[in-house]
Amino acid sequence: MKIGSLSEDKDLEKRISITPEVAKKYIGLGLEVYLDLNYGSHLGFDDSQYKDIGVKVLADQNDIISNTDLLVQLNLLNDDKLSKIKENQTLIGVFNPYNNKEKIETLSKKKINIFSLELLPRITRAQSMDILSSQANLAGYKAVIESFANFKKAIPMMMTAAGTIPAAKVLVVGAGVAGLQAIATAKRLGAIVSAYDVRLAAKEEVESLGAKFIIFDEEALKKSQTTGGYAKEMGADYKKKQEQALEKAIPKNNIIICTALIPNKPAPLLILKKTLEKMQRGSVIVDLAVETGGNCELSEIDKIIDHNGVKIIGYANYPSRIPGDSSTLYSRNLFNFIKILINQETKKIKIDLKDEIIEKTLIAHQGKLMNL
């Protein structure tokens, strides 16, 4: 069987799906690997590194599409490339099916198998394939580094003969994977950290990292988590209390890291303009939720907004801002997923719909849309 990957549009995406380390593993499974010229050169992976382990490096991306049974990507390819994918070919990536439904429907009509790995079930067996967690972890780290770079003061407490400078105060809004990594990173660098989440289950995790958990309605929080472990959208009464609590807590902090998301819905609006206007000049907000609407009212995608001296950073795709490590983890996640797809005897793809991991991530199969 032949597996391939095309270079992404590097203006939008600097991560890659197959590192040399993982290419070697695919070849060890008995697969042939096809990549295009300079596929990983921007990350320090020369074509020679791939060729030396047996990867076939082709000059024309269309030849990769026509020669392979399986294509692995980060994002959905452009329309021209998608039109060249063959019947029964398999496509694996992170395809945001709710926003790309029309394109996926068109591909489905060609009987193309499509897997979107952000739909992985939250079960123990899927942990090694969990692209959301691996990428969110790095995003949380990078968001803190970005915020500290834009904050024009010291982060830890500084004691000098001229006096003491207090530690910066950081509030992390949303204590999922990205939020917890943001807490850990900020604590390691000497900040005083607090966190807020609608899930009461997050309290113990936040406090285990040495941060203070903001809580104002414990009874409501007990009902705020889905069976899958994600945050629910809360009712109007709770949202009003939440708004009042955050309006009080946010101005006490120098840096806010926003990570709150609701699966398959716009991000919850948590930081209103009126709250921003109570913050100290020089404060910084990083909104990791900007791609789904943002947690901050004034966030704009891929922009830094200065509002009365408060910087609001709305960069999209934070994992792509640390592409080396993000690619390493993503390519390993992909490999672990593909291993369960490959029949070890025939070396061909076997789509077992009785396997929960395969069934949940499959969005197009035999001409039908699934999980949409």
Question: Does residue 230 carry a catalytic annotation?
Answer: yes
Vertex 289 angle, CA 79 and 113, to 5°: 35
Catalytic option among 49, 66, 122, 321: 122
The strand pair at 284-287 and 255-258 is best described as: parallel
Catalytic option among 230, 321, 325, 355: 230
Catalytic option among 83, 127, 128, 244: 127
Sign of the Cα pseudo-torsion (134, 201, 316, 80, in order): positive
Q: Around 14, how many Cα atoms within 13 Å sit in the side-chain half-sphere? A: 17
In angstroms, what CA-CA distances link 66 with 4, 62, 91? 10, 6, 13
119: three-class secondary structure by DSSP? helix
Catalytic option among 133, 194, 224, 299: 133
Question: Does residue 238 carry a catalytic annotation?
Answer: no
Could you give the CA distance from residue 289 to residue 310 in angstroms, rounded to a whole number? 18
In angstroms, what CA-CA distances link 337 with 54, 68, 244, 255, 332? 22, 18, 44, 37, 9
Sign of the Cα pseudo-torsion (350, 356, 357, 360, in order): positive
Catalytic option among 17, 36, 130, 299: 130
Backbone angles phi and psi of 64, in degrees to 5 = -65, -45
Can you read off the two tokens belonging to residue 159? 């004691």
Amino acid of residue 105: E
Question: Does residue 133 carry a catalytic annotation?
Answer: yes
User: Which residues are catalytic, by number?
Assistant: 122, 127, 130, 133, 230
